[in-house]
Structure 1
Amino acid sequence: MVGGCLSCFFTYISVLLLGVCLYDVETSSCERNIHKKVGDTVELLSCSPAEGVTSAYWKYEGLRIASKNVYVSGKHQFEERLNLNLSSLDLTVRGLTLQDSGVFSFLSEANNKQRPTVTITLHVHEPITIAPAVTSNSTWHPLNQSCTVLLECSATTDSPGVTYTWAVGNETMNGSSLQHVITPQDGDTRFTCTISNFVNEKSTIETVKCSNVTPVTLEKGQLFVVLLSAAGGVCLMIVIIVGVAVYVCHRKRSQAGVDPDELTVYADINDVANEAGTSSAMKACTLYETIDTRVNTPVTPGPQTVYDKIQFSRMRKPSVSPYQDIS
């Protein structure tokens, strides 16, 4: 009799422990923090059995947005983007925006008794679309025949929560900057910078090679001398170019038969007149002489009007009879 009671007791304890384990598994499968990117669709699980539920509704930041049995009135930011599964009581939100980040709460009653509230925090992130920019600077150390490489990684995104990760060979380091030592025997060394948030990531590879070339640094005085020498060289080049241009111009004038000293407008006009065929005897030296020559040239008088021309063409010999002068 006692053995039968003990057997029943152990069976009851086993079933109770199994139920607790199953409840813990179901509860642990419900995500309390969800990360999504802009434009995604998220499904918020009720994490509660749907059997015997008499009342159930979802809230966002304290505002009721979906209900099983009660019509939800009033406008909210999720209009036409929600879908409530009446069987599982899960809530689906489509077309997520950055403003949708917040706390969602599921409240329900079963057999007229309030059940524990399920709270889910949604984080909506802007996806990373541009790879990071990487800059590097290498310094040669002749004492130990090695190079110290300083690298900087910068993201061009405004997305919060961005993390930086460096990968060099089998090593992984965190942070936006990295200082690493390499040798000429390492050859081309690849440094990979990866920026990531909760939804995606982008990477950039920088290849650096250690060289035993020491960069030349100039002091302020030496730099001034170099700049002054460069400026003098530029001025000398300009003078040479101008001199060559003047020489070429004078040479062309000499080949064309033009006196280089005649640099006046009057001389140029006189040259044009000579080319047109003016005799050397009547050649004018200036514009004024040309005009004066034209003015002093005697002009043969001729008919000045239409009547004079007609009379000139119709002149006859003197007539003996006065009656014949009518015409």
Structure 2
Amino acid sequence: MVGGCLSRLSCFFAYGVGLLLVVCIQDAEASTGKRVVHKRVGDTEEFSSNLPTEGVTAATWKYGSTVVADHDRGVSKKELFQSRLEFNPTNFSLTLRDLTVGDSGDFSFLSEANDRQRPTVTITLQVHEPITEHPVLTYSSYQALNGSCVVSLKCSSATHSNVTWSWAVGNHTYSGSELQHTIRPEDGGTTFTCTASNFVSEKSASKAVTCSNKYTDKGEFRSVLILSVAGACLMAILVLTCVVVRICCCKKRHEGSDSNDLTVYADISDVAVESRTPSTLKPCSLYETIENCTGSDAPITPAPQTVYDRIQLSRLRKASVSPYQEVS
């Protein structure tokens, strides 16, 4: 009995301690005031510590590690922000005008109340360039074998200040600057909306895409595909046949030229005409003047002096008026 009571009492005590720790942690986080502020270029931001102002004996604002304002001396003479900074000595707030992207950073407030150090308040400032132009939407598509269309889309923007991309297609949303989506002819016109956004602005662009499939009948589409493949195969066979025939003709022509590569000079040699005595044999040549090759001293009838004269001998005609020799 006593043990059970002690057990329940210990559980209750542990629960109370845990709850107290959670509350203390939440209070500590609230007192430190860590937060992030998003602003656009050209805006004005007033930094406040959200701490009580009673009994404050010291108050200092820092940008990073540099002191920019102080309870006793006001705004620092370093003019880090080129006279765009103001300090309120009553509520210890800090105001920065005409914000630029370069002003982004951590602003810290350090203070003392009744000579006791208070928690440091840190405010992170992020300055963004607003998106002023609509994004550029481009797309391409191809038709799948099942008759549907695969659409590839891409969005781009000239602004590079933490841009987030999103897509809206009907009731569906997607993230990223690129999207690939499948549509069907029965869907009609499908609208794709691309949105470029950051913390201070957003711009959108839309495009309606239709899947136009002229072969809505799968049987017709299959027939056209088969005919196309058959035509391509036939064309390849014809080309191959022409190439083979061409190679064979060239080979035969080459062999014929090798076998007939003989000239008249290969068969012409000196010959000797028999005479009554071997010592009187004279060699005769086709190109030599035709003489008495017999070796005898008997007179012979004058004959043509060259082979060419012999060929022309029986073909003498009247002189031709043409500058070219007439051959018959």
Matches within 5 A, 1:264-303: none
1:135 is displaced (CA, Å) by: 0.9
Give the match for residue 49 of structure 1. 52
1:68 is displaced (CA, Å) by: 2.0
Give the match for residue 173 of structure 1. 174
Match of 1:37 among 30, 37, 40: 40
In 1: Cα distance, 2:62 partner to 2:143 partner: 62
1:62 is displaced (CA, Å) by: 1.6
In 2: Cα distance, 1:190 partner to 1:85 partner: 53
Runs of 4 or more above 4 Å deviation: 20-23, 28-31
Note if 1:133 corresponds to 2:140. Answer: no
In 2: Cα distance, 1:184 partner to 1:83 partner: 63
Conservation of the 8 A alpha-carbon contact between 1:46 and 1:91: no
Letter in 2 for 1:164: W
Conservation of the 8 A alpha-carbon contact between 1:61 and 1:102: yes
RMSD between aligned alpha carbons?
3.0
TM-score (norm 2): 0.55
Give the match for residue 151 of structure 2. 149
Tell me how many residue pairs correspond in the alignment. Answer: 200
TM-score (norm 1): 0.55
In 2: Cα distance, 1:174 partner to 1:84 partner: 42
Measured at CA, do residues 30 and 50 of structure 1 come closer, stay the same or move farther in structure 2, by a change above 3 Å?
same
1:29 is displaced (CA, Å) by: 10
Measured at CA, do residues 212 and 29 of structure 1 come closer, stay the same or move farther in structure 2, by a change above 3 Å?
farther
Give the match for residue 100 of structure 2. 97
Conservation of the 8 A alpha-carbon contact between 2:101 and 2:127: yes
1:74 is displaced (CA, Å) by: 2.3
Matches within 5 A, 1:287-326: none
Letter in 1 for 2:203: K
Give the match for residue 111 of structure 1. 114
2:37 is paired with a residue of what secondary structure?
A: strand
1:69 is paired with a residue of what secondary structure?
A: coil
Measured at CA, do residues 201 and 38 of structure 1 come closer, stay the same or move farther in structure 2, by a change above 3 Å?
same
1:27 is paired with a residue of what secondary structure?
A: helix
In 1: Cα distance, 2:149 partner to 2:32 partner: 51
In 2: Cα distance, 1:188 partner to 1:207 partner: 6
Note if 1:195 corresponds to 2:196. Answer: yes
Larger radius of gyration, structure 1 or 2? Answer: 2
Gaps of 5+ in 2: 1-15, 216-328
In 2: Cα distance, 1:187 partner to 1:135 partner: 19
- Identity among equivalent pairs (%): 56
